[in-house]
């Protein structure tokens, strides 16, 4: 199903964070959103899963108007579009398995989850998700004891437990070293390709967006100023998105680079796990 943003604007007081954005994102696309700090990338992503609401305009998923959902409809939507963050947002003192199973919160009774009562099926699904991300050996460790890259993979496993239709990621690799950044981006790409889950990710490095995303959306001052495939992102487009440096020179692309590239890693070599098997 297609996701549409129609004339979406978000103001904070007198400041316009997102300005009249219109986008149409087909199911299964891998989209990277780039732009300078303050361009409105996080605000845009947060509106998609309703962590923030537009001041005007509307959001639609197929026939559903997402921006007017309330109550159970809103909770279902937030389950359908899982979000991962730069700082992972795990519960550090809980073990990895429990953190992953908390992805099921919206599928079940909160009391049962808080008491740590999970079904055998949920445990199996959580382990399968961890295995898929290559971190099953950490299942019983407190999440806070894992490395950043491992923690982000736990966050992705937790997101998978939601059986989402869309996966939103706000700078998922900004706190990671290049190797872990690559492992995490490869995992997102793998999920996108195998399950056909739409992935929309904010990225602060241009080369990562180029290497992993089939579509790049460039934002500047709340507006979409570029929307196209990586090949179309030429020097002129980069200058439109990032502007010029204070001395008047165009932004050098290496300034926004971490030099990571997709590669065949253990993540993609793992046995195929379909969403049906996560659900099982």
Ligand X SMILES: Nc1ncnc2c1ncn2[C@@H]1O[C@H](COP(=O)(O)OP(=O)(O)OP(=O)(O)O)[C@@H](O)[C@H]1O
Nearest partner of 170 among 51, 78, 41, judged by Cα: 41
Q: Which residues pair with 58 in a beta bridge?
A: 6
Q: How far is the CB of 249 from ligand X (least distance, A)?
A: 21
Query: What is the spatial distance between Cα 166 and Cα 30, in angstroms, rounded to a whole number?
Result: 10
Which listed option, Mg ion, ligand X, none, makes contact with residue 104 (CB within 5 to 8 Å by class)?
Answer: none
Which listed option, ligand X, Mg ion, none, makes contact with residue 2 (CB within 5 to 8 Å by class)?
Answer: none
Our CB check for ligand X shows the closer of 94 and 225 to be 225
**Residues contributing to the site for ligand X (CB under 6 A):** 12, 15, 17, 35, 37-43, 204
Q: How far is the CB of 77 from ligand X (least distance, A)?
A: 20
Measured N-to-C along each axis, helices 120-132 and 148-161 cross at an angle, to the nearest 10 degrees, of 130
Which listed option, ligand X, Mg ion, none, makes contact with residue 162 (CB within 5 to 8 Å by class)?
Answer: none
Query: What is the spatial distance between Cα 17 and Cα 172, in angstroms, rounded to a whole number?
Result: 21
Which listed option, Mg ion, ligand X, none, makes contact with residue 33 (CB within 5 to 8 Å by class)?
Answer: none
Our CB check for ligand X shows the closer of 35 and 172 to be 35
- Tell me: does residue 42 bind Mg ion (CB under 5 A): yes
Q: Are 143 and 154 in contact (CB under 8 A)?
A: yes
Site for Mg ion in 80-139 (CB under 5 A): none
Q: How far is the CB of 93 from ligand X (least distance, A)?
A: 28
Stretch that binds Mg ion, among 40-48, 96-104, 110-118, 238-246 (CB under 5 A): 40-48
SS3 53: coil
Our CB check for ligand X shows the closer of 43 and 151 to be 43
Q: How far is the CB of 1 from ligand X (least distance, A)?
A: 25
Which listed option, ligand X, Mg ion, none, makes contact with residue 38 (CB within 5 to 8 Å by class)?
Answer: ligand X
Measured N-to-C along each axis, helices 178-195 and 148-161 cross at an angle, to the nearest 10 degrees, of 20
Q: How far is the CB of 42 from ligand X (least distance, A)?
A: 3
Six-digit token pair at 266?
């253990």
Whole-angstrom CA distances from 97 to 22, 126, 209, 238, 266 are 39, 6, 31, 42, 20
Q: How far is the CB of 185 from Mg ion (least distance, A)?
A: 17
Stretch that binds Mg ion, among 36-44, 113-121, 206-214, 231-239 (CB under 5 A): 36-44
Our CB check for ligand X shows the closer of 38 and 142 to be 38
Nearest partner of 223 among 41, 51, 85, judged by Cα: 41
Q: Are 223 and 20 in contact (CB under 8 A)?
A: yes
Query: What is the spatial distance between Cα 243 and Cα 64, in angstroms, rounded to a whole number?
Result: 37
Our CB check for ligand X shows the closer of 15 and 120 to be 15
Q: How far is the CB of 42 from Mg ion (least distance, A)?
A: 3
Our CB check for ligand X shows the closer of 17 and 23 to be 17
Six-digit token pair at 42?
């996080």
Residue 251 makes CB contacts below 8 A (sequence gap 6+) with 238, 239, 242, 243, 244, 245
SS3 101: helix
Query: What is the spatial distance between Cα 172 and Cα 15, in angstroms, rounded to a whole number?
Result: 26
Residues in the site for Mg ion, rule: CB under 5 A? 42
């Amino acid at each position: 199903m297609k996701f549409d943003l129609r004339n979406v604007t978000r103001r904070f007081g007198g400041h316009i964070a997102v300005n009249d954005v219109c986008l149409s994102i087909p199911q299964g696309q891998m989209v990277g959103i780039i732009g300078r700090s303050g361009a409105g990338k996080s605000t845009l992503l947060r509106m998609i899963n309703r962590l923030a609401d537009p001041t005007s305009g509307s959001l639609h998923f197929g026939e559903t108007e997402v921006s007017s959902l309330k109550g159970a409809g809103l909770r279902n939507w937030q389950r359908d579009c899982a979000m991962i963050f730069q700082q992972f947002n795990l519960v550090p003192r809980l073990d990895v398995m429990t953190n992953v199973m908390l992805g099921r919160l919206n599928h079940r009774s909160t009391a049962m989850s808080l008491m740590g009562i999970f079904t055998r099926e949920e445990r199996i699904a959580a382990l399968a998700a961890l295995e898929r991300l290559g971190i099953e050996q950490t299942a019983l460790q407190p999440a806070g004891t894992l490395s950043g890259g491992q923690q982000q993979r736990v966050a992705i496993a937790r997101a998978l437990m939601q059986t989402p239709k869309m996966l939103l990621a706000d700078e998922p690799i900004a706190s990671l070293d290049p190797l872990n950044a690559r492992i995490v981006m490869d995992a997102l790409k793998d999920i996108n390709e195998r399950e056909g889950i739409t992935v929309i990710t904010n990225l602060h490095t241009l080369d990562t967006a180029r290497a992993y995303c089939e579509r790049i959306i460039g934002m500047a001052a709340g507006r979409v100023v570029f929307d196209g495939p990586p090949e179309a992102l030429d020097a002129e487009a980069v200058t439109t998105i990032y502007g010029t440096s204070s001395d008047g020179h165009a932004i050098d692309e290496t300034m926004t680079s971490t030099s990571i590239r997709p590669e065949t890693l253990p993540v993609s070599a793992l046995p195929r796990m379909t969403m049906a098997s996560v659900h099982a």
